[in-house]
Chain A
């Protein structure tokens, strides 16, 4: 009943005018009801029991193929044109419709279930002054509800009060935008005063006027009127449905939007329906087939007219012609009759079979253990089951960096302390030992405060520190002091760090484990536990990090009163500022740094300097003046910093590994071999991105040049792009060569394709966000595309989500190539949706990327299996299927065409009607499904061994319009054989007992048996991989054909259904004739042998890569997979400096506010829920698109 009510409710709702403003009063249901706002029940299901059949059928008949068959069925009941019984179309149509209906019903039942589950969640609602448990669906706009910690937010709420000080609440918005860090919301003071006073809340009668329901997650405007006073409401005071309450004991909220009006539901609009290029091709082909069908029927209708006037009219004595039917009317009728007879040209089962095949191949992806990640227990998932074959055609991959290529984990890996390198293990002969999971770890258990997750392998370092080496101690002291990390010690000894960048977190954690534990900080002091002893340093200044300075320093006073400046930063920057006495040390450290950079580690150089008191006093004075200056404050500060950060003494260098996910470089190498281009689109800084480029082998030392586009004007960008292009190819024309073509249904779509240009040598391109913004403008787009496509590797850094999508669309538009986007975070959603195929990395931050993706798995390296194995097979199978399917249906149909010349163009079918009905549905359905689900040309290991096997897919080589035409020609040949050989063999002969054999029924049986056997052999020729299932399907179908035929032609069937089975006895009487079998044998071989010979000669003359690998596979065993050796690259003085840090919190660290936990408006994402400080590496730019600059509302 509820469903019916809501259905009518929806009907009524539709008639209503669009809402212009929402107006509601708290605790006043009757007032709010006058507006008829939607309550909190949601309905994502499409049907109910009553509406299912009509609505589902209506939807299904909107499909072209289904509508066509309905039309055919209508034609068939018109006796004048009905050349086939109604069941020949009705049975397959019913079958198709019911399969789809069952699938739809199942989907909808699941939606009903999840709707019910959500709608029946319980929440505390304030009703009549009392808190009552209510179901979510019964919550009304204007109700006040109470939420508790870790509960889902019920509806879009205005926050009234909370348990936390200052009426704060913390929410996790992962379900909404994918960000896992906590966000802070704060109630108005007016409402916050009510606290959890039920009476006060029950008496609350504020009126809210606000915007109508919309889908903007980052914006809310409204006012609250209470007791004559009006307060402004913004996004900060609203809790959105889909969030989860965290770290907050309870809170009260006023329902503003319920159910379908909530921003979550408004956002879950229809996702764009992705279609594969094969789909588009198929539509075009089906259209062509329609045209072809019409012309064939026209031809036959004309033939009929001629025949009627020349022969039929003479023959009229014996023909049951109706009165008034002359040759022109008869030809008109025969046109429609032939439309019915030849309808198998447009195969209804095509669409269904394609769906089944895709579903099957999707299951194989879901089931693949080699794409299952045991650590997080996540299997791969094909979320969209209609895109499989496109996976075999990918030309461009757009990848996110953080969390996709990298694990988003920074580990302190190596360091160099006063010229001595630590972090590598050597055996007694002095050779480097590979560090694996089994390598013994350094035991930090002596240190009570050590982070148990920290792993280090080199025992010497700890020994050095424990021995009391002053350099080593200073090194870690620096790391413990020089940073802006916030400590969080909820329980004694359980220390968590909130780091602004994961690099910093890694460094501070390293210091912590080596005995220099950063414990707590105040604006003026830093408490460190040094080798078990608590030491409090006075913090005098923080010289913050920024992009230009590339370094940060702190000035501290030790308890002994010693003043020290600790500085860490990019090696090049630090080396410039060192005291000349460090020269020798610099040389040694430099070699270490080069090694680190070569391994793709992120490096920082550390230095310190002792200061004397008088200088410091004076400097501090000037610092104070500069920092309060009104003009040129930044410049003045910079100058001051510059002045103090010189003559530093080098301590050493750190190397932090931005841990790549397992197998990333190998995967990238494999994909590159498969001629897939990978572009990295990351929100990270240029240095970081470049660094990762090197460590995952995309940028290589042996590349001729790596272009960096970082101009800040449109002209600059253009110039840099053009210069790069000219360097790569001096002959490159100024104008790109664009091929304009038309494609798509009715050739309405215009396409422009920019052609690839020849380049010798490998190049890389790095472009930053600013330049990208210019480059994506209309006039520079093509310039960017041309240059980028000439490079082996493209890295775009500091990219916004929108730009990610734009880049994808640019390539999609001008390259006509299949694109794939892979990412893990909410910032990748736009690109995942824009690309032909979106892949989400699951099991990491948020689910947003996964939810909008088409395929998901846990590790980047599974991408190669998805593409090179599953994608390639899916594409191969789909193409084989289509070729075979068209061949089988064309051949079937063309035989009717030839017969028309012998039966007076009367639309007489060659085959038995039952055969026509069952041909696609039963006799040939399973074998071809078996082929297109199980076939593999070479197995997965060979696919990996030869990634080149992937390239035919990119070039559409397995199925295209050309292949379709070839298919038709082959069908034409086969159908000629299939008709004329039986014709010639039978037209003038008799059985071995002298009785009839050239009768219609025997001929039909002969023709259909030949057809079916030829189709089975043809299928066998196409099958490369004969599993038991294939054998069973092929032999089973043939056996089934004979069994069904003998049954249908049996006495019993005739006696029961007299008029339905007129072929009684035909099978018995003709299949015992030797000449019938000789004819079948001849026909089959004549159809097949030329194909075999042609294929054989083609393999000899022009073998494809598949043939070569298959040939190789037969001859030799698969070479054992060579273990990828991580080659140590020869590094030529490249700095490994990279830091995922934009602007430090220097100001915040020294600001009192921050430490009092008063929310900092500009950085609500500061507090994270994740327990590891390392897990936080939200690209900083993300906020720039989702949040409008907010007015400062701090109390």
Chain B
């Protein structure tokens, strides 16, 4: 026996793997699976589609363009880049209760935050509070790396430099008098951005960390003075700054400005007339951009989006139609049985 084994030293192993006999599942696109599959998927899609569509319809959205392109618009005079500290007021009314919590967005169109060099023009090390990068910001920030006096810009880069700086105040007009709708600016940015990605250097007062640096060219206030009302909301962890720094994927976008969750308006905005006071600073006319504010509430599926619901409905119906077509083809041609 031993001898025989030695003689067969080159005999390959008899395993399912080497002999390619591994047990396997061999599915096939048979009529019994495909046609019912399409029907089931179709019906499921129609179901989801209806749910999405109904949900989406229940979401209220109010969009107000305040760019001031036409001279009839209230902000027309502010759209002139030469006007400084221009404030304009937009009046609008709500017919029925705008259910809360209401979210207040600003939107920009034709604004290319997704332009490659714009997106890259930042320094994550600096923004995470590393003081070394305060003195010498990364090269990606150029040309917003140093100012003309060769002083480092903090926060450097094009994104930070172009931070949106219009501010809004919303009033409800109750019998001729304006009642300020309280805005909640806390927690409008991602938790991870606020806690991990962006950090202020651990220097107190914060101002000292910014010694020997200059504020971005387009900014009116340095980073450590962004929110005079709340000292904790300054520097790189200012909520508005965080929202702006999360750059948009597409050239038309909206960003969260404030939430309306407090006081009389916790349940939503009651029907009535409102007045929006805008401190108009941000120039968009030069590149044919538009600015708008959006008031919206949300559902389990996020903001209003008709597309998903309609797409599910259409594709679900197509699946059902397709399954009928396949059934006809199957019945008519079947599977040719001849060899």
Contacts and interface: CB of A to CB of B under 8 A. Distances in A.
Interface of A: 79, 83, 311-312, 314-315, 317-322, 337, 364, 366-370, 372, 374, 377-379, 873, 902-904, 906-908, 934, 936, 939-940, 981, 983-1004, 1024-1030, 1051, 1054-1055, 1058-1059, 1062, 1064-1065, 1068-1069, 1073-1075, 1078-1079, 1082, 1085-1086, 1089, 1092-1093, 1095-1097, 1099-1101, 1103, 1107-1108, 1110-1111, 1114
A367 B193 contact: no
Nearest to B52: A1078
B300 A992 contact: yes
A368 B113 CA distance: 59
B196 A368 contact: no
Nearest to A933: B20
A496 to B, nearest CB: 25
B119 to A, nearest CB: 7
Given A320-B118, A904-B112, A1092-B29, A990 B302 contact: yes
Nearest to B112: A904
A82 B103 CA distance: 39
A1101 B329 contact: yes
Nearest to A361: B20
B288 A994 contact: no
B220 interface: no
B249 A369 contact: no
Nearest to A873: B20
Interface stretch (B183-191, B200-208, B226-234, B273-281): B183-191
Contact of B34 (A364, A984, A1096, A1110): A1096
A1082 B308 contact: yes
Contact of B22 (A319, A377, A981, A1028): A1028
Interface in B104-148: 105, 110-119, 121, 123-125, 128, 130, 138-139, 141-144
Report, nearest first, the 10 A-B pairs whose CB atoms are least far apart.
Answer: A1065-B192, A1003-B249, A367-B18, A314-B287, A990-B303, A906-B116, A994-B103, A908-B116, A318-B162, A989-B303
A902 B333 CA distance: 46
A988 B139 contact: no
B22 A1027 contact: yes
Central interface residue in B23, B308, B325, by most chain A CB within 10 Å: B308
B310 to A, nearest CB: 10
Contact of A1004 (B158, B249, B308): B249
29 contacts: A79-B139, A314-B286, A315-B115, A318-B111, A319-B158, A320-B157, A320-B158, A364-B18, A369-B14, A906-B115, A907-B116, A984-B311, A986-B249, A990-B298, A992-B299, A994-B298, A995-B189, A996-B243, A999-B246, A1025-B24, A1059-B123, A1065-B197, A1069-B192, A1093-B326, A1096-B34, A1100-B326, A1100-B334, A1103-B335, A1111-B28
B215 interface: no
Contacts of A1000: 113-114, 119, 246-249
A1024 B121 contact: no
Given A995-B188, A1065-B190, 13 more contacts: A311-B110, A368-B19, A369-B11, A377-B8, A986-B249, A987-B252, A1001-B246, A1027-B23, A1064-B197, A1069-B192, A1074-B300, A1085-B315, A1114-B30
B304 interface: yes
Interface of B: 7-14, 18-31, 34, 37-38, 41, 45, 48, 52, 101, 103, 105, 110-119, 121, 123-125, 128, 130, 138-139, 141-144, 157-158, 161-162, 188-193, 196-197, 243, 246-256, 259, 283, 286-288, 296, 298-305, 307-308, 311-312, 315, 319, 322, 325-326, 329-330, 333-336, 339
A906 B251 CA distance: 13
Central interface residue in A939, A991, A994, A1027, by most chain B CB within 10 Å: A994
A1059 B124 contact: yes
A207 to B, nearest CB: 50
Contacts of A988: 252, 254, 303-305
Contacts of A990: 103, 105, 254, 256, 296, 298, 302-303
Contacts of A996: 190, 243, 246, 248, 255-256
A315 B287 contact: yes
Given A908-B116, A1068-B192, A1085 B24 contact: no
Contacts, number: 291
A533 B29 CA distance: 79
Contacts of B52: 1078
Contact of B326 (A321, A999, A1097): A1097
A1112 to B, nearest CB: 8
A968 B101 CA distance: 48
Contacts of A83: 116
Contacts of B319: 1089
B315 A1108 contact: no
Given A907-B116, A1000-B248, A364 B103 contact: no
B242 to A, nearest CB: 10
A526 to B, nearest CB: 41
A985 B256 contact: no
B329 A317 contact: no
A1100 B27 contact: no
Contacts of A315: 111-112, 115, 286-287
Nearest to A84: B116
Nearest to B318: A1089
Contact of B196 (A1054, A1096, A1097, A1108): A1054
Contacts of B20: 364, 368, 873, 934, 936, 940
A1059 B140 CA distance: 11
Contacts of A1108: 335-336, 339
A415 to B, nearest CB: 36
B298 A992 contact: yes
B57 to A, nearest CB: 14
A377 B10 CA distance: 6
Contact of A1100 (B7, B303, B335): B335
B192 A318 contact: no
Given A369-B19, A906-B115, A1082 B303 contact: no
B190 A1095 contact: no
Contacts of B118: 318-320, 906
A949 B9 CA distance: 35
Contacts of B103: 990, 994
Contacts of B305: 985, 988-989, 1075
A903 B114 contact: yes
Nearest to B312: A1082
A1073 B119 contact: no
B124 A1026 contact: no
B250 A989 contact: no
A317 B24 contact: no
Contacts of A1074: 300-302
A1054 B199 CA distance: 12
Nearest to B139: A79
Central interface residue in B25, B142, B249, B288, by most chain A CB within 10 Å: B249
Contact of A1075 (B27, B253, B302): B302
Nearest to A984: B307
Contacts of B38: 1089, 1093
Contacts of A1103: 335-336
A506 to B, nearest CB: 28
B144 A320 contact: yes
A319 B117 contact: yes
A1044 to B, nearest CB: 18
A913 to B, nearest CB: 11
A1082 to B, nearest CB: 6
Central interface residue in A322, A985, A1055, A1099, by most chain B CB within 10 Å: A1099
Contact of A997 (B18, B24, B302): B302
Central interface residue in A377, A378, A987, by most chain B CB within 10 Å: A987
Contacts of A1025: 24, 26
Central interface residue in A312, A988, A993, A1055, by most chain B CB within 10 Å: A988
A98 to B, nearest CB: 27
Nearest to A1021: B29
